[in-house]
Structure 1
Amino acid sequence: MPAWSAAHWFTLNTEHFNIHYTQGNEAWARSAAQELEIVRDKVWQQQKRVLEGKADVVVFDPIHAANGFALPSTDNPLMALFTTPPQSDTAISNHASWQQLLILHEYIHLVHLSQPSRHRWRQALRDTWDLYDISQAMMPRWVAEGYATLMESKMTGRGRINDNFGEALLTELAQQGALLSYAQLNEGNDEYYSKSMAYLIGGRFLAWLEQHYSEQLLDAVWTRMRAVESRDFDSAFYGVFSDHPSTLYRRFVAEFTYQAMSKEQQEPPLMSDLWQDYQYAATSPVLSADGSMLAIVESDAKGRVKLNVYETKTDATAEQKFNDKQKEILSADPQDIADVRPIVFAKKTLHTLEPINFSGIRYPQWRDNHTLYFVASVNDKDVKQVRRGELFSWSLKTGKIEQLTQGVAIRRFTLSADGHTVFAEQVMNGHSELVKINLHEQTVKALFSKQLSTLYDYPTLHDTQQKLAYLKHTLNQNWQLYIQDLTTQQHIQVPMPQGYQYATQPSWSKTGEALYFIAGTEGCVDIYRFELLTGALYKLTQGQSLFAFPIAQSSGDLLYLSSGFEGNDMYQLPASLHGELVYELAPRNTSVPENSIAKHSNTVDDTEQFNGSIRLPAAAIYHYEAAVSQYDIWQQSASLALGAQYASASTSLLNIGVKGSDFLEKLSWHAGLSQDIAGNALNGVFAKVRYQQGASQWDMHVFDYKLDSQKQQRTNLGDTVQQHGIYGQFSHSYQWQQLHVQGQFSGLLGKKQAQGQSVDHRWLRVGAQQQWQYDNQSFAIGQKLAGFWSEGETYGQDWQGQNLDATLFGKIFHIPMYVSYQFAKRQQQTLQLGGMSSSLLPQSRMVNTITAPDLPFYAAQGHRYEGYGGAIALQAQFPWLYYQQHQLDEQVFGQSYGLKWSTSFNGQSWLGKFAPAGLSDFRVDLGVSRVEGDSFENENRAWLGLWYDL
C-alpha cells in the first residue's frame, strides 16, 4: 500500500512550477508559489542559471518535523517542502522565514545539480533515461549540501553559515581536534553531529574557497562539470584550482582550528564540574519536583533512542565496585598500576523506556514522582506513513504506557502541577500555535491567533507563579523570549544581549523569580539569567563550551549539557556563580543584523563577500492568486526502462522498455520486451498498468512469452511453454496501528502452448495477506501470514489449489532474523519449482510456480510443496545469511544456503514515492548460494537482478 495514496491532493500552477499539496495546506502552498517565483528570479540574477521547463513541488507534512528534499533531473526536477517549521534549538533555526529558507535551499539543489550536459549525446540519453539522468546529476554529498548551505546564507544573510549554534559547535569540535577528514565529509564517522557536517563544514569550506580565491573560480567548477569533456567533481575542481579539494580542505581545517584554539586561549576558566558522563547524545533533561531523579532522552550513533531515569545522588556502590575491582587487579598482579579514579561515577539508572514501533520519545516532563509524560509519533488514521506527535504517559511503578491525546499534533509541552492542563506547541498545516489542552475534557484552546508568519516553541510553566515562558518567531525577526502571566494575562519581553541571533531552552529557577535560557552572540552560545523583579540580565558563561539545557537545582547549583565529538555530558555550575550584568541590550522586536555571525566567523571574516551578493527580499506571507484544480493523473511522464537479470541456474535477461506515471504514481504503466542473451531460454513482451485510489489498487498485465527450459544453464526437466493472455488483480488494504491486512482477488485468461498443444488457460485466485510487528529497537517480533485459494482450467482439465505462507521475524540485540514456512497444494495440476521473478514473469502471475532464483525453471514438479527457511543478518539492510529447504510430494528435493540481499525504490517511502517514473519500482536482487540435492549435482550458484517490479 503506497504511503500517500489516501491523501487528497490539489495542484496550483505558476509560470515555472507545478505545486502539488495535500488537503489543509492551501495557504502554505499559495505563499510558497509566490516565494518560488521570487527565488527563481533572484537565483537567475545571482548565477545566470535556471531550470529548463517546469519543476514539480510537493507541499506536505509527513513526519511532523522540519525537512525537505530535492530530486535533480534535467526534465523532471522535483522538490519536496515539509510545512512543519524548525524549532528554536536546531541548526536551521536561523531564518527570516522557514518557507523562504527551505525553498531557496531546495531550489539551489535543483539548479546546481540539474543543469544539462553540453555533450549532445549524453544529454539525449539523460532526456530519455531517468536512471542515467539522476546518476549524472549526483555530486559528493558535502558538495551538494554545502553549496546549498552557502547560497542560503549568502542570499538571506541568515542560514547555517550565519548561525551561532553551528559556529559554536564547530569551534568546540576544532578545539577537540575532531573536525572531520575530507573522506568523512559525505556521511560522517558516527561521531556526534557528524552527518550534519556536509552542511556545516561543507558550506564553510566553500565559503573559504570563495574568500581565498573568488566566487567566479568556484562557479567555474560547476560549469566544467557539464562540459562536453566528461569530468567528475575532483577533475573539474583540480582544473580550476590547480589543487585537489582534499588538499585545500586540510588548509581550511588548519586555519579554522588555529582560530578556534586562539579563541580558547582568551577564554576565562569555567568553574564547573562534570556531573554525568553520557555515552553519546543526550537531550531534554528534566528534574523531578523533589530533585531526586533526572529524566533524559539518550541516543546512540545509530539513532536508537531511550528515555532513562537516573538518581541524582551519588551512587555509593559504584565507587565501591570500582575500588574492589582495583584491589582485585593488584592482588592478581602487584606490579600492575591501578586505574585512575573516574572524574565522576555514573548515576544509578532507575528506569529505562525504549520507543515502540519507531514512535520516538521526545520532551519528557514529570507529572509526579511516579509518572512521566512525553511526546511520541502516531500514524495518521487516514494516510499510512504520515505521523503526528501525541502525548503519552509512562508509569514508573507499573511500566504502563498510555496515549493521552488524539489528533492534537503537538511538539514541546509543559504541565500544570495537577497534570490535567497542558500548554503545548501545536503544528498543523504549517501553522505553529500555542494551545492549552485540558486532558480531562480533551479540549484544545488556542492562546493566540493563528498565523503562518508566527512560530512558537518551548512553552515552560512555573505553576506556583502561574507564569508561562515561551519563545516566539515572526518574519524577519530573531527568536524572542516572552513571559505571560496567566493570572493577569500581561506579558513581558525578556531582554536579549546586543547582537544576539540564537535564543532557546528557557528554564525557571525553583522560586520562579529568575528565568535561565541559552542565547548566542558572535559565534558563541552562553547561559543567561533574567531576574523578573529587577529586570536585570546576567551572562553566566563566556563561550567556553557549547552550552545547552540549563536546569536549576534546589541547592542553587545549575546543571547544563555540553557537547563534543563524543556526544553530550552534563556539568554543574556552582550556586555562587552570579554572572556578569549585561548592559548592552538588543532593541525590542527588531530584526537580526545581516551576517551577524559572518563577521566573527572563523571561516568568513569579510562581510563584503556576502554583502555583494544578490539578496532575497524580506520574507513575507503571500497569497498567490491562481485557480486550484484537483490532482490530474493524466499528466504523465515517461522514461526509458533498462534492466538486466542474471541467474547462473537459468537465464540471463535483458529488459528494454518504457515506463511512465503521473507525479504521484496513481496511474503507472510499463511496457517492454525481455530477451535471454545467453541461451535464448526465455523471451517475451509485456505491458502493465497499475491504478491506485485510496486503499485500493488495480493491476493489469498483457503478456506473451516463450520459455524453453531445455536451453537453461542448469535443469532437470525439459519443457517448452509458450503463453499469452491478460492478467488482472484487485487488492484493498487496511491499516490499524501495526496491523496491516490486504485482501486480493486476481485472475488470468489466456492461451498456453506446451507439448505441441494450444489450449485455454485460465485461473482465479482469492485470498488475503496480513502483517504485524512489535519493535522496541533492541528487540522486535513480528509475523506475516498469507493464504490463497485458487481454481482454474489447463489442458481442458479443472484444478484447484491452496497456498499458505507464514513468516516469523524479529531481532535480538539489534540482530535481525526470520524463519519461514511455505505450503502449496494442487489437485489435478502440477506445481513447478524454480526460476526467478522478473518484469516479464512476476511472481504474482505465476500461480503454479514456486520461484527460487538459485534453481532453474521447471527444476522439479509435484502436487504438494513445502519449504522451510531461515536467515540472519548482522544488522538491518545488510545481506542475509540464509538456509532454504524444498520438499515436493513429501520428499526432500534439495537445499540451498548462502548470502542474499534485496532492495527496492518504491512508494513505501516518501522519497521513493515521488521519484521519476524511470526510478520508481526499481529493484536490486543479488545472491550467492550452495545448492545441494540427490537428484542433481551439488554446486555454487549466483544471481543478480536490476529490474522494475511494477
Structure 2
Amino acid sequence: MRLQWVFVNLIRFVGLVIASVWMTLASAAPAWYTIQTEHFNIHYTQGHQLWAISAAKELEIVRDKVWQQQSRGLSKKADVVIFDPIHAANGFALPSTDNPLMALFTTPPQSDTAIANHNSWQQLLILHEYIHLVHLSQPSRHTWKQALRNVWDLYDVSQAMMPRWVAEGYATLVESKMTGRGRLYDNYSEALLRELAQQGALLSYEQLNDGNHEYQSKAMAYLLGARFLAWLEQRYSQQTLDSVWTRMRAVTSRDFTRAFKGVFAEHPATLYRRFIAEYTYQAMEKEQQEPVMASTLWQEYAYGASSPVLSADGSRLAIVEHDKEGRVKLNVYQTQDDPDAERKFMDKQRTLLNEDPQDVAEVRPKVFAKKTLYSLEPINFSGIRYPQWLDNNTLYFIASTADQANPKQRRGELFRWSVISNKVEQLTQNQAIRRFTLVEDGQTIYAEQVAYGYSELVKIHLPSQQVTALFDKQISTLYDFPSYSAAQQKLAFLKHTINADWQLYIQDVNARNTYPVPLPKGYQYLTQPSWSPDGDALYFVAGKNGALDIYRYELSTGALYQLTQGQALFQFPIAHKYGQLLYLSSGFEGVDMYQLSALQGELVNELEPRAQSGSVNGVNGEKAPNSYATVLPPARVHQDDMLSQRYDIWHQDASLTLGAQYASASTALINVGLKGSDFLEQLSWHIGHTQDVSRGQLQGNFAKLRYQYDQFQLDIHGFDFEVTNETSTSSDKVGEEQHGMFAQLSQHYQWGQLNLQTQFAGLFGKQAQRQQSVSQRWLRVGIKQSWLYDQQSFAIGQKLSGYWLEGQTAERNWQGQSLSASLFGKAFYIPMALSYQYAKRENQALQLGGFSSSLMSETRLANIIMAPELPFYTAQGNKYEGFSGAITLKESYPWLYFQQHQLDGQLFAQSYGIKWSVGFNGQTWLGKFSPAGLSDFKVDVGMSRVEGDSFENENRAWFGLWYDL
C-alpha cells in the first residue's frame, strides 16, 4: 500500500511539474514557423522571418534557373532550415532522393574570406547548397535500387555520396558561373592558388579530398576542385562533364572514377596532373613578370596566424595563432630582436664545431624568433579572435560563448585579458559581435553586430551595455573591419551593398559625415584597413587581376598609393616604427610576417568611379567570362508577403531501419523496424523487431516515442522481449521475459559550464522467471550534473548522477539507489577519464552483463548493469561497484580502457582493451535535422581481454550498428 500511495502522489506531483514547465517553456523557447512554397518547406524562428521570406522567393528563382541550365531538379520537396548556430557564415546540404535537406546559416561572410565575393550572401548560399542537392540527390535509373532508396534513408544517403572534391568543386563551379561571383572568380582564392603553385605546393589528386595538413589544404576541394572542373568544361565542353553525372545514376552501377573514364577516356588523376601543370606554368610566368620587392622576413610562425596588432608604443605585438589541429592561442611577442636567441644559436654552432671540427655549421637563420612574453589559450569559450590593445598590459578580444536562450548556439562576445595577472573577464552578454575597435577610454567600442542575418555597425558603451546603431540596418547591407583613429577622431569601416563590391569609408565621429576612400579601378577584393599611428594614412589590402596588394590612402592629399605588385599573398598590413610596415603572407607551410617600407609606392591614377556598383566579373544580370548561358538575375531582398504557419510536428517522414549487433560473449542480433520523425525531431518514434540469429538468447518487439521541446523531453517505450543465458556460472538457464510500458520525463538546465538534468521515470508491466509470471512496477527519481573547465591543452571536468528507486515485483517491495561519478579531462591535449559506478538493491537482484540495443535500452532496465564484454545475466547480486579508466590520443579516436566489476564486495571480472562509440544524433545540427532513418544511429566497437576466477579468461569483441532513440 505504501508503494501505491507513493506512486499515485508522485504521478500527481509530476503532472503539476509538467504543466508548470510547459507554460514556462512555451513562453521562453523560440517558436518555429514554416513557409511552404511549391518546391520547398522553409523552417525558421521568428527573428529570422524577413530573411526567411526573402529566401523563400530566392529558392524558387534558383530552382527555376538551375532547371533551365541543366534540366535537373528535385523529385521531392526539400526542407530548408534557416538559423544561426555558430555566428559565422556557413551552410550544409544532406542529399537524399526522399528527404533532401538544406541548412542556411544567416550570418554573412566577412570581407577577408574566400566567400566574400558575392552579389548577396543569401543568393550565393542558396545556389551553392541547392546545387549540392540537385547534383547528389538524383534518383537511380535502376528500378529496384531506387525502390530501396525510397524506403531506407541510410542506404539512400550512402548512394548519394561522391568524392568531397567533386561535390564541393562542382557546387563552387556552378555558384560562380551562375552569379558571376564566387570562388572561381575571387581574387583572394586566385592569389592563394598562384602562390601555392609558385611554391610547387598544389595538391596531388589523392590529397584533393581531405588535404595533407599543409596550410589551407582543406579548402582545396573547393578552390582547386572548381578550377579543375572549369578546365574540363573549357577543354572539352559543359555537356561532356555533365555526362559524368548522368552516367553515375545509370542502371549499371558506376562510381565517379568509372563514370569519368567512360566520358573522358582518361582517369581523372591523369587529367588533373595536366591541369596542375598548366596552372603552375601560368603562375610561374606571372612570377617572372613581377618586380623584386624590398621586404625582409620579420617573424616566422609555426602554422596559421592572423589579426596582428601592435601596442601603442610598438613594443609588443599580439597575434592569434593556430596549429594544424585548429587549436588556438593568443600570443604576445616582444617586437625588439631577442639577443638571447642569437647567442644561443652561436653557442650551439661553437659546441658543434668543437665536437667535430670537420662538420659544417648551420646557416644563420633569416630571422631569429621574437621573445614570447605572454600566451593565452581559450578558457571555457571557443576561439580567440580580433585582439585589440587597451594599454601595454591589457588586451580585448572576441570569443564564442553559448547563447543564454539556446545553449546549442554560439555567439561572439567581448573579453578582456590582463596579461600580467592572466585574468580574463567577459565584458558583454548576448551582444553577438564580431570585429570591433576600441575608443581610447576603453569604455566604448565600435563593432559589427550580427543577429538574425542583419549586419549592423554599432557603438557600445560597455559599462551600461547601451547599444547605438550608426546606420539603419538592412539585410542587403554588411559591415566589417571598423578601425578607430584616436589621433584623427575618425572611424574607417568596410561596407558591402547588394550586387556591389566591398567599399571603404571614413566617418568623422564628431561631425558624423561619411565619405568613401578612393579605390583602384577594376578591384574586386577589399579588406583589412588599418591606421598609421598619427592617423594621416590608411593602409588596406585590395585585389585585382588575381593578385592582392597593399595600398596607402593619405587623408591630407586624398592620394592613393600602391605599395606592392602582387608578389605575395598580402594580409593584415600594420604600421610599425620608423616608417616601416608589417604584413602577413602565407604559403603551404603557414603564415609568416614580413616588413617593408611604408613610404614607398606608386601613385594610383586610375580609380574606380565612386558610383561603382559591381564587379568586373559580371553583375546586374550580365554574364561573367566563361559563365553558363543561364545566369541568376541580380540579387535582391524579396519583401513579398508570404503565408507562414506554426511548425507542424505531425508532418512525419518514415524510413526502414536495419541494424546488426554482435558480441562474442553473448550473441548476434538483427534489428528490423520503421522509424519516423518530423523535420526538427520534436516528435520521433521507432517500432521494430529484434531477432537473435546466433544462439536464440534474445528476441522481442519494441515501440518508442520521444517528444522534445527546447530543454524538456518525454520518452515512452513499449516492450516485449525474452532473454536467456546458457553460459551463466549457474547450472540453471538464467533469463526472463518482460513486457510493459516505460516513461521518463527530463528537464535540462545550463548555467555557463554547469549542466543539470532532472529526471522522473516509471515502468509497469509483467515479468516471467522460471515459468512464473508476476507484475512489476517501479519509480525512479534522479539528477544528472556535469561541469567542465577547458583550457584547450588542459581540461578537467566531472559528471555525477544519482537515482532513487522504489518498486514492486509480484508482492515483494524493493528499493535501491544508483550512483555514478566520473572525472575526465586532457593533459597535453591527450584525453583521459576515470569513472565509478555504484548500485544497491534491497529485496531485488542486480543482473550483470549484456549490451544495449534498440530492444533493451539501459535507460529503462533499472536492475541490469550492461557490460558488452560479458554475457547477459552472467552474474547477480545486491550491490554492484564498477571502476574504470581510459585514455586516447584524440577525442575522436578509440579509447584504451581498463574496467573492474565487483558484486557484493567480491571482484567478479576485469577487462582491458580498446573501445569506440559514436552516435549520429541531435548533439550536432546535422544529426538533428537529418532524415529519420539516419538520426539516432549509433556505432559501437570494442575488443578486450576478460579475466575472472569463475570463468575462463578470454579475448572478446563486440560490434554494433543500431538506433538509440
Q: TM-score range by the shorter chain?
A: over 0.9
1:673 and 2:689 matched:
yes
Q: Cα deviation per residue 1:414-445 (whole Å; 9 max; x = unaligned)? A: 01111111000000110001000111222100
Deviation at 1:624, TM superposition (A): 3.4
Structure 1 residue identity aligned to 2:59: L
Q: Cα deviation per residue 1:555-600 (whole Å; 9 max; x = unaligned)? A: 110000001011110000024x420111111111323345379xxx
Q: Equivalent of 1:820, from 803, 822, 835?
A: 835
In the aligned structure 1, how far is the partner of 2:45 from the partner of 2:859?
Answer: 32
Q: Is the 8 A contact 1:49 1:111 kept in 2?
A: yes
Deviation at 1:714, TM superposition (A): 9.4
Q: Which stretch of the first structure deviates more once superposed, 893-902 or 528-537?
A: 528-537
Question: Aligned residue for 2:626?
Answer: 609
Structure 2 residue identity aligned to 1:401: V
Structure 2 residue identity aligned to 1:513: D
Q: Is the 8 A contact 2:541 2:549 kept in 1?
A: yes
Q: Equivalent of 2:844, from 829, 838, 846?
A: 829
Q: Which stretch of the first structure deviates more once superposed, 63-72 or 481-490?
A: 481-490
In the aligned structure 2, how far is the partner of 1:439 from the partner of 1:6?
Answer: 28
Question: Aligned residue for 2:608?
Answer: 586
Change (3 A) 1:922 1:803: same
Deviation at 1:358, TM superposition (A): 4.3
Question: Aligned residue for 1:177?
Answer: 200
Question: Aligned residue for 1:39?
Answer: 62
Q: Equivalent of 2:155, from 132, 135, 153?
A: 132
In the aligned structure 1, how far is the partner of 2:729 from the partner of 2:686?
Answer: 30
Q: Equivalent of 1:557, from 563, 576, 580?
A: 580
In the aligned structure 1, how far is the partner of 2:858 from the partner of 2:629?
Answer: 57
Query: Secondary structure, in 3 states, of the residue corresponding to 1:336?
Result: coil
In the aligned structure 1, how far is the partner of 2:352 from the partner of 2:779?
Answer: 74
Contiguous gaps of at least 5 residues in structure 1:
598-605
Question: Aligned residue for 1:854?
Answer: 869
Deviation at 1:317, TM superposition (A): 0.6
Change (3 A) 1:931 1:823: same
Deviation at 1:769, TM superposition (A): 0.8
Deviation at 1:491, TM superposition (A): 1.8
Q: Is the 8 A contact 1:39 1:616 kept in 2?
A: yes
In the aligned structure 2, how far is the partner of 1:883 from the partner of 1:384?
Answer: 33
Change (3 A) 1:909 1:846: same
Q: Cα deviation per residue 1:869-924 (whole Å; 9 max; x = unaligned)? A: 00000111000000001111111101000010000000011111101000000000
Q: Equivalent of 1:650, from 660, 666, 669?
A: 666
Deviation at 1:607, TM superposition (A): 6.3
CA RMSD for the aligned pairs?
1.6
Structure 1 residue identity aligned to 2:645: S
Structure 2 residue identity aligned to 1:417: E
Per the normalisation by structure 2, the TM-score is: 0.96
Structure 2 residue identity aligned to 1:591: S
Q: Equivalent of 1:89, from 104, 112, 131?
A: 112
Q: Is the 8 A contact 1:522 1:596 kept in 2?
A: no
Structure 2 residue identity aligned to 1:572: Q
In the aligned structure 1, how far is the partner of 2:830 from the partner of 2:884?
Answer: 17
1:707 and 2:729 matched:
no
Structural mapping, 1:301-450, within 5 Å: 301-450=324-473
Query: Secondary structure, in 3 states, of the residue corresponding to 2:332?
Result: strand
Q: Cα deviation per residue 1:284-305 (whole Å; 9 max; x = unaligned)? A: 0000000000000000011000
Q: Is the 8 A contact 2:500 2:615 kept in 1?
A: no
Question: Aligned residue for 1:289?
Answer: 312
Question: Aligned residue for 1:661?
Answer: 677
1:141 and 2:164 matched:
yes
Question: Aligned residue for 1:216?
Answer: 239
In the aligned structure 2, how far is the partner of 1:455 from the partner of 1:715?
Answer: 73
Query: Secondary structure, in 3 states, of the residue corresponding to 2:859?
Result: helix
Query: Secondary structure, in 3 states, of the residue corresponding to 2:383?
Result: coil
Question: Aligned residue for 2:950?
Answer: 935
In the aligned structure 2, how far is the partner of 1:404 from the partner of 1:892?
Answer: 53
In the aligned structure 1, how far is the partner of 2:29 from the partner of 2:590?
Answer: 40
Q: Is the 8 A contact 1:715 1:857 kept in 2?
A: no
Q: Equivalent of 1:760, from 775, 783, 786?
A: 775
Structure 2 residue identity aligned to 1:637: D
Q: Cα deviation per residue 1:604-638 (whole Å; 9 max; x = unaligned)? A: xx96531x421100010002322211111000000
Question: Aligned residue for 1:841?
Answer: 856
Query: Secondary structure, in 3 states, of the residue corresponding to 1:96?
Result: coil
Query: Secondary structure, in 3 states, of the residue corresponding to 2:261?
Result: helix
Deviation at 1:716, TM superposition (A): 7.5
Q: Is the 8 A contact 1:649 1:714 kept in 2?
A: no
Q: May I ask how many residue pairs the two structures share in their alignment?
A: 938
Structural mapping, 1:524-923, within 5 Å: 524-575=547-598, 577-595=599-617, 609-610=626-627, 612-710=628-726, 718-923=733-938
Question: Aligned residue for 2:180?
Answer: 157
Deviation at 1:773, TM superposition (A): 0.7
1:19 and 2:42 matched:
yes
Question: Aligned residue for 1:602?
Answer: none
Q: Is the 8 A contact 2:332 2:372 kept in 1?
A: yes
Q: Is the 8 A contact 2:381 2:399 kept in 1?
A: no
Query: Secondary structure, in 3 states, of the residue corresponding to 1:927?
Result: strand
Q: Is the 8 A contact 2:180 2:624 kept in 1?
A: no
Change (3 A) 1:568 1:608: closer
Structure 2 residue identity aligned to 1:269: V
1:53 and 2:68 matched:
no
Q: Is the 8 A contact 2:177 2:624 kept in 1?
A: no
- What percentage of residue pairs aligned between the two structures are identical? 67
Q: Is the 8 A contact 2:798 2:822 kept in 1?
A: yes
In the aligned structure 2, how far is the partner of 1:570 from the partner of 1:594?
Answer: 31
In the aligned structure 1, how far is the partner of 2:793 from the partner of 2:463?
Answer: 35
Question: Aligned residue for 2:271?
Answer: 248
1:474 and 2:489 matched:
no
In the aligned structure 2, how far is the partner of 1:608 from the partner of 1:88?
Answer: 23
Question: Aligned residue for 1:603?
Answer: none
Question: Aligned residue for 1:116?
Answer: 139
In the aligned structure 2, how far is the partner of 1:562 from the partner of 1:75?
Answer: 46
Query: Secondary structure, in 3 states, of the residue corresponding to 1:844?
Result: coil
Q: Is the 8 A contact 1:822 1:866 kept in 2?
A: yes
1:7 and 2:30 matched:
yes
Query: Secondary structure, in 3 states, of the residue corresponding to 2:681?
Result: coil
Contiguous gaps of at least 5 residues in structure 2:
1-20
Query: Secondary structure, in 3 states, of the residue corresponding to 1:24?
Result: helix
Q: Which stretch of the first structure deviates more once superposed, 335-344 or 146-155?
A: 335-344
Question: Aligned residue for 2:10?
Answer: none
Deviation at 1:818, TM superposition (A): 0.4
Structure 1 residue identity aligned to 2:611: N
Structure 1 residue identity aligned to 2:626: Q
Deviation at 1:186, TM superposition (A): 0.9
Structure 1 residue identity aligned to 2:911: S
Query: Secondary structure, in 3 states, of the residue corresponding to 2:183?
Result: coil
In the aligned structure 1, how far is the partner of 2:894 from the partner of 2:366?
Answer: 42
In the aligned structure 2, how far is the partner of 1:165 from the partner of 1:859?
Answer: 64
Deviation at 1:53, TM superposition (A): 2.3
Deviation at 1:327, TM superposition (A): 1.5
In the aligned structure 1, how far is the partner of 2:329 from the partner of 2:794?
Answer: 13
In the aligned structure 1, how far is the partner of 2:260 from the partner of 2:381?
Answer: 42
Deviation at 1:6, TM superposition (A): 4.2
Query: Secondary structure, in 3 states, of the residue corresponding to 2:178?
Result: helix
Q: Is the 8 A contact 2:673 2:687 kept in 1?
A: yes
Per the normalisation by structure 1, the TM-score is: 0.97
